[in-house]
Amino acid sequence: GTFGRGESRDELARKKGAVLNQSAEKLHWEVKADCEKLQFDLRRKSEIQANIKHSQTRLEDFSRRAEKLEEFVNTTRKAIEEQRQQEEQLAEELVRGKVRMEEVNEELAQVLTKLQNARLDSQENRRQQRRDEVLESLRRLYPDTVYGRLVDLCQPIHKKYQVAVTKVFGKNMNAIVVTSAKVAHDCIRFLKEERAEPETFLPIDYIDFQTISTTFYMVPLRLREVQGAKLVVDVVQCAQNAPQLKRVIQYVCGNSLVCETLKDARRIAFDGPERLQTVALDGTLFRKSGVISGGSLDLRSKARRWEEKDMNKLKEEKDQLSSELRALMKLKRKEVDLKQIRAQSQGNQTRLKYSNSELDSIRKKSIPACQAEISKLRSELSNLEAQIEIQTESVELKDNEMKAVRDKINQLEDVVFADFCAEIGVANIREYEQDYLRMQQELEKKRLQFESQHTRLSIQIEYEQAQLEKLVKQMKKIKETIGKEEDVVISLKEVEDRLLIAVEETQSNLIELNNQLSEKTTLVKDAKTELDKTLKGLQEKSKVLVKIQKETICSEAALEQLRLSKHNLLLVCKIDGLPLTLISGALDDISDIQLDSESQSISTLDIYEREAQMVFDYSTLDSGLKAITEESEVEAELEKLKEGVSSLESMIMMSRAPNLKALEKIREVKDSFREVMDAFETSTHTTKKCSQEFEQVKSKRFHLFSQCFEHMSVVIDQIYKKLCRNTSAQAILSAENPNEPYLDGINYNCVAPGKRFMAMDNLSGGEKAIAALALVFAIHSFRPAPFFVLDEVDAALDNTNIGKVTGFFRMMSRESCQIIVISLKEEFYSRADALLGVYSMFDECMFSRLLTLDLTPYPLNEENATDREKDK
């Protein structure tokens, strides 16, 4: 019975344990399902958080991208604007350059045509080029003090005067004009340092202006009155930028006159009361001394310098236009820059277009989408967090419930397995299950370790075998390569042997060539020494040749100087009338033209040839003079003659010989004195006559003025009384200078009716107006005028004075004149005989109209009363 009760108890425990196990298993699966769901929700939460973070990152990226795009858009717009300005500037510059290029081409064509028509020789004289270079250097050194050559600073007023002006200028034509003598000395020092040709300088401050003043400011007053001649100074005009050069031109020209014809020049030079220096248009110069210097071909070639100035200007203009045209041609290169700028601008516009579209897409689509996604994920995260919290609480409750069921199951197991646990010596069945499970787990772990170790070793063996096979293959390849390299080394050794043989041959050839080079070098040195000797000989010969040429030139210059001295000496002998005995030729063959060192022309050579054909008779000379052959002896004899002449002159001066021309001079002085006395008497008579005429005019003037003044003095008082309609009124005119009243002022004073005497300035405006009218009508009474025009004379008058003035006007208009008055007062113009009114109208513009009204049919009441009194 006890055993049966025990079995039934165990059975009940097993049943109850089975029920509890089922409950525990059910709870376990529910907890497991809830845990899995909780883990899923947690993973989902992590994913959502990651998505939120990713979306925020994307939003930040989109924002940064938008900022960068906006910055890029602004930068691109600025770049496009700058490129547009550059494009407009370049396009405008190219258009201007194109227009200017056409203009320059036209101007250059015109200049070339002028140069071609002028037939200007393009090859300049080397000497003239050197002189021009020196002048430019002086201008650079002294920019404000060196003006330039005189020929470049002035110009004849007409082409016909070019030869004449060139003749008068002479050697000063190419002179350099400077401001002061100090600058001239500095320029001369520079020329000496540069070893340049000598130049003539004209310092403005060094010119003897006193001589100019006596010859140009006094004499020309009568020289300009000479018929058929002009002062050379008057036919030369200075450059506009150098007015101070007039002084230099006055110094160079002096009182020279230019004449149209040779006959007029001779007549004016020699036939007048005094000799004058004249020049004809063909260049013939008549000096005061009687020397006549004719024109020549050389003079005409010098005169061409005036025309060459214009040609030089054309050349300069041509060079300037050519340089400008080259600069404009370079401007075409900017077309490539313009195309490049346009391409860059188009590319920037395209990029700007895509950037704007991308920026709009980011701002309108991407950023709002990210923001919506973030808000959606955040709402989902908040829902998920609430579910996770609920599931966590549910899992905790089920865990507690499952622990309670496990405790009950453990209690039942302790009851059921109490005997078994006692047999095996364990506290409870759970301890036994834990030991058994631990042993099983250890065995399983060791077995897994063994399998893994076995697998690892097998894999390592397979790997090592594969590596061994690779090494074997590499060894085979290396052996094959070594064999090939050995073959290559053998072949290279053979090549090396051949090259060594070739090097030895080349070295031997090089030694032979070096030997040949040394031999050739010695030959070249010998030839060079011979060449140097030859060059030295040529240099010495050239020096000798230059020396001979210089001596030849000096001899020719000395011969030319001797010819010139001979000509001038013969000319002096001819002018002084010295007797010269000629074997062949005549004194008439001697030309009357005085030559200088600059005269080089065909006519000069003809003069020299004619004089060379003249043979003088030296038979009358002393034998001692004939025997002289050396130049030193000639000079010594000449010195003796000069000493003799000087001694004779001193004796003549000491002898105080009578002046044979004194009587003639006294006679001339008496004649001039008589002429002066006659002129004095004539001027005295003229003075008396003029004084008499002056007194007559003065008396006539006094009479006429007194006649008018006396008339006005009487009449003005009467007129003033009529204007004031009062006999007590007074108007007084008085002269400040009674003897000659027209030389000083006239005093005008008025005494108004019922007032004491006051100055005119103290009178009222109306009283001054009436006084002024009285003066006007007093003047009118002496010389009546046909009509008067008065402008608002009633402005300062009251009604009483207006009535007085209008009454006087009506009386005067009936008696002697017609009066036209401009007035704005009805009291004044209502008393007129006729009215003329002007008024304005508007019709698209303002214009004036005129009205007329005859008031004669409407007589005044006072006039009717006056007429009735007259009838009575």
Q: Which helix (H) or strand (E) holds 550?
A: helix 429-576
Q: Cα dihedral angle (295, 296, 302, 304), rounded to 10 degrees?
A: 90
The residue extents of the domains of the chain are 2-115+335-416, 126-318, 470-621, 702-871
Residue 796's nearest CA partner among 833, 766, 823 is 766
Range ranked top by mean pLDDT from 418-427, 566-575, 758-767: 758-767
Q: Coil, helix or strand for 236?
A: strand
Residue 302's nearest CA partner among 201, 114, 170, 156 is 170
Q: Coil, helix or strand for 568?
A: helix
- The residue with greater pLDDT, 483 or 322, is 483
Angle at which helices 799-815 and 765-782 cross, to 10°: 10
Locus of tokens 């001038």: 568
Query: Across residues 700-720, what is the average pLDDT?
Result: 88
Q: 604 with 595: CB under 8 angstroms?
A: yes
First to last CA, the chain: 199
User: Which residues are within 8 A (CB) of 781 and not within 5 positions of it... i.e. 6 or more apart?
Assistant: 711, 712, 715, 719
How far is it, in rounded angstroms, from Cα 220 to Cα 253?
12
Could you tell me the pLDDT band of residue 595, with boundaries at 50, 70 and 90?
low
Q: 34 with 398: CB under 8 angstroms?
A: yes
Q: What is the pLDDT of residues 300-332, one digit of tens each?
A: 666 666 666 666 676 777 778 778 777 877 777
pLDDT higher than 80, residue 625: no
Query: Across residues 443-469, what is the average pLDDT?
Result: 86
Q: What is the pLDDT of residues 71-128, one digit of tens each?
A: 888 898 888 888 888 888 888 888 888 888 888 888 877 777 666 655 444 444 567 7
Q: What is the pLDDT of residues 195-250, one digit of tens each?
A: 888 888 888 887 754 344 444 444 555 677 777 788 888 888 887 656 677 888 88
Domain 126-318 sits in CATH at 3.30.70.1620
DSSP E strand boundaries for 693-764: 730-735, 746-751
pTM: 0.30
pLDDT higher than 50, residue 2: no
Query: Across residues 801-818, what is the average pLDDT?
Result: 86
Burial tier of 544 (Cβ tally within 10 Å: 0-12, 13-18, 19+): exposed
**Across the strands, what pairs with 231?**
257
What one-letter code names the amino acid at 193? E
Indicate the class that CATH gives domain 702-871: alpha beta
pLDDT higher than 70, residue 862: no
Predicted confidence at residue 870, as pLDDT, reads: 42
pLDDT higher than 80, residue 798: yes
pLDDT higher than 70, residue 718: yes
DSSP string for residues in 189-210? HHHHHHTPPP--EEEGGGS-HH
Predicted confidence at residue 288, as pLDDT, reads: 80
Q: Which helix (H) or strand (E) holds 827?
A: helix 826-829
What one-letter code names the amino acid at 445? K
pLDDT higher than 60, residue 652: yes
pLDDT higher than 60, residue 864: no
Predicted confidence at residue 212, as pLDDT, reads: 42
How far is it, in rounded angstroms, from Cα 289 to Cα 275?
8
Angle at which helices 799-815 and 662-724 cross, to 10°: 120
Task: Please give, one letter per residue, the 3-state secondary structure of 652-667.
Answer: HHHHCCCCCCHHHHHH
DSSP E strand boundaries for 54-158: 146-149, 154-156
Domain 2-115+335-416 sits in CATH at 1.10.287
How far is it, in rounded angstroms, from Cα 313 to Cα 173?
19
Residue 174's nearest CA partner among 315, 298, 305, 283 is 305
Q: Cα dihedral angle (236, 242, 244, 248), rounded to 10 degrees?
A: -50
Q: What is the pLDDT of residues 505-535, one digit of tens each?
A: 888 888 888 888 888 888 888 888 888 888 8
Predicted confidence at residue 784, as pLDDT, reads: 86
pLDDT higher than 60, residue 295: no
| Maximum Cα–Cα distance across the chain | 217
Q: What is the pLDDT of residues 661-704, one digit of tens each?
A: 667 778 888 888 888 888 888 888 888 888 888 888 888 888 88
